[in-house]
Chains A and B, each alone.
Chain A
């Protein structure tokens, strides 16, 4: 069974063909990162314009690379939220148009369900499991007791982890997107600057990164006023250590409480080496099975949408032609 996945929720136009929910036959990603760089962030209107220019070409390439025709495709799975509404609408409009024109069933996929299901393209899921979702827009701990079931144990109360990375990167005058630069710098420095850890209430699985972000900005500001110099690498290392420590402690605590058979990492920040390495060490020590997708499946892509869509296909959950882009769509909807 082959599913066509389509993803346009932010600044990547992507289409993929997935076989049986587990195998990638193609995963074409037209990234706009270079286009948004000069604006210092993703500009929604610019992103939407790019999507509409490249949507059909991207899908065509995905079909060609997979060597499949419309007759082979069982369903079209498209991200319908959350994300930038104008960007989502392009993928949704294209998916609906093709679904109608070719009589192929339509499936609406939640973007974060996609990120979680990127892991199934690496290794089969075993339930119950805990997934740590970390990206530029999300920081969530998700409990899954079976396929297609999501329960949010905790989420960020302010900035997403990736957002904090980008803001700290900006304060260090690093180019956009800042996450990878902080990660790289952190490995060159030492975490010797004291920064807070935001644990919130003892039993909470929620996160908060705005206090940490402010502490970094204050540290920089105070140093400038005193005429002292702070090594950016040390600050990056200290910041990263604080973020990673909180993420890992809460993930491990959830994994233990819910007797998880697996811990999955999902979202763009899963590409962060500091987080990956620290999680690997910790999970091994605790005897918990850890899955982290390769880099290309961590950032936005349509393969993960096809993988998540496969589960909905098997459950017979289809969308109708009035499917709309939902910028604030909840994972549990």
Chain B
């Protein structure tokens, strides 16, 4: 089964083509170029290099958030439109899980995070299962980092925690101060999401027949729009 995987949910742009046995090609850029301009040319380039025609794809995988709202939408709109036009299944996967996959095989808790401004982070607690996949132990959320560190510590006790993500430098000091040696910061080569990891996760889903109908695929922002939140707050008063 040949899968096209894409991630545009944060600053990194990544595209991969793969099947169950190997990654045919992958392109990842951390140059913060406009994803809207770059994504389709990137897909075209990777498919070209792998000598795969669009109609030879059997499925599409996309990082569906959390992350930049616009970035997530560019990826999801592209993935669902391609999947629908090609009549192949599509699957949306957590952008956090994609990063956590980089720590496959790590024995402690895996904590991917993206900055969400005002002291908040998008994050979740993951655990490696064999050296095959990572699963959520505490679900993805948006939360104040300080509250999150308390919660995650309570969940894992004294176990080590591997922190990952391109925005780590914003929060590293606070994490270190709160958790001390319990917090591990790996090499930065593990920080950015790779589309091949998303493709691999998607292949597991497809194998179980879990692909989504293209029309049904929507982003997972993890929070309502600000105007919506204000409106809801007003209703409660």
**Interface residues, chain A, with chain B CB atoms under 8 Å away:** 38-39, 43, 45-46, 48-49, 51-53, 55-57, 59-60, 70, 85-86, 89-90, 92-98, 100-103, 321-322, 324-325
List B contacts of A49 (CB < 8 A): 69, 73, 219, 221, 225
How far, in whole Å, are A53 and B79 apart by their CA atoms in the complex?
A: 12
A98 to B77, CA, bound (A): 10
C-alpha gap A93/B77 in the complex (Å): 6
Would you call B225 and A45 a contact (CB within 8 A)? yes
Give the CA-CA distance A316 to B63 in the complex, in Å: 36
Which residues between 221 and 237 of chain B lie within 8 Å of chain A, taking CB atoms? 221, 225-228, 231
Q: How far is the CA of A102 from the CA of B85 in the complex (A)?
A: 7
Contact B70–A86 (Cβ < 8 Å): yes
Nearest CB in chain A to that of B72: its residue = A52
The majority secondary structure among interface residues of chain A is helix
Complex partner residue of A56 from B36, B39, B81, CB under 8 angstroms: B81
- Contact call B85/A101, Cβ cutoff below 8 A: yes
Bound together, the chains give a CA A96 to CA B225 distance in angstroms of 26
Q: How far is the CB of B211 from chain A (nearest CB, A)?
A: 15
Measured CB to CB, the residues of B under 8 A from A are: 34, 36-41, 43-44, 54-55, 69-70, 73-74, 76-82, 84-86, 214-215, 218-219, 221, 225-228, 231
Contacts of A97 in B (CB 8 A): 40, 77-79, 81-82, 85
Q: CB within 8 A of A48: which of B70, B84, B215, B228?
A: B70
- Known contacts A48-B70, A57-B215, A321-B40; 19 additional CB pairs below 8 A are A38-B231, A39-B231, A46-B225, A49-B69, A49-B73, A49-B221, A52-B77, A56-B215, A89-B74, A90-B77, A97-B40, A98-B82, A100-B82, A101-B82, A102-B86, A322-B41, A324-B34, A324-B37, A325-B36
Cβ–Cβ contact B36 & A43, under 8 A: no
Q: Chain A residues near B41: list those with CB within 8 A.
A: 321-322
Q: Is the CB of B81 within 8 A of A98?
A: yes
- CB <8 Å contact, A322 and B37: yes
Separation in Å of the B184 CB from the closest CB of chain A?
36
User: What are 25 sample pairs from A and B whose C-beta atoms fall under 8 A apart?
Assistant: A39-B227, A43-B225, A45-B225, A51-B77, A56-B80, A60-B84, A70-B85, A85-B70, A89-B36, A93-B73, A94-B77, A97-B79, A97-B82, A97-B85, A100-B40, A100-B43, A100-B44, A100-B82, A101-B81, A102-B54, A102-B86, A321-B41, A322-B41, A324-B34, A325-B36
> Which residue of chain B has the shortest Cβ distance to A45 in the bound complex?
B225
Contact call B85/A45, Cβ cutoff below 8 A: no
With the chains together, A85 CA to B73 CA distance in Å? 12
Q: How far is the CB of A45 from chain B (nearest CB, A)?
A: 4
Which A-chain residue is minimally distant from B53 (CB atoms)? A103
Q: Which residues of A contact B55 (CB under 8 A)?
A: 101
Query: Which of A53, A59, A103 gathers most chain B CB within 10 Å?
Result: A53
Question: Chain A nearest CB: distance from B157 CB in Å?
Answer: 39
- List the A side residues contacting B74 at CB < 8 Å: 89, 93
If the complex has contacts A90-B77, A100-B54, are A52 and B227 also in contact, measured as CB distance less than 8 A? no
The answer to whether A46 and B227 have CB atoms under 8 Å apart is yes
- In the bound assembly, the distance between CA atoms of A85 and B34 in angstroms comes to 13
A46 touches B73 (CB 8 A): no
- In the bound complex, do residue B86 and residue A48 qualify as a contact, i.e. CB atoms below 8 Å apart? no
In the assembled complex, which residues on chain A have CB atoms less than 8 Å from the CB atom of B79?
A: 97
Contact check, B231 vs A56: say whether CB atoms are below 8 A apart.
Answer: no
- Which residues of chain A are within 8 angstroms of B218 by Cβ–Cβ distance? 52-53
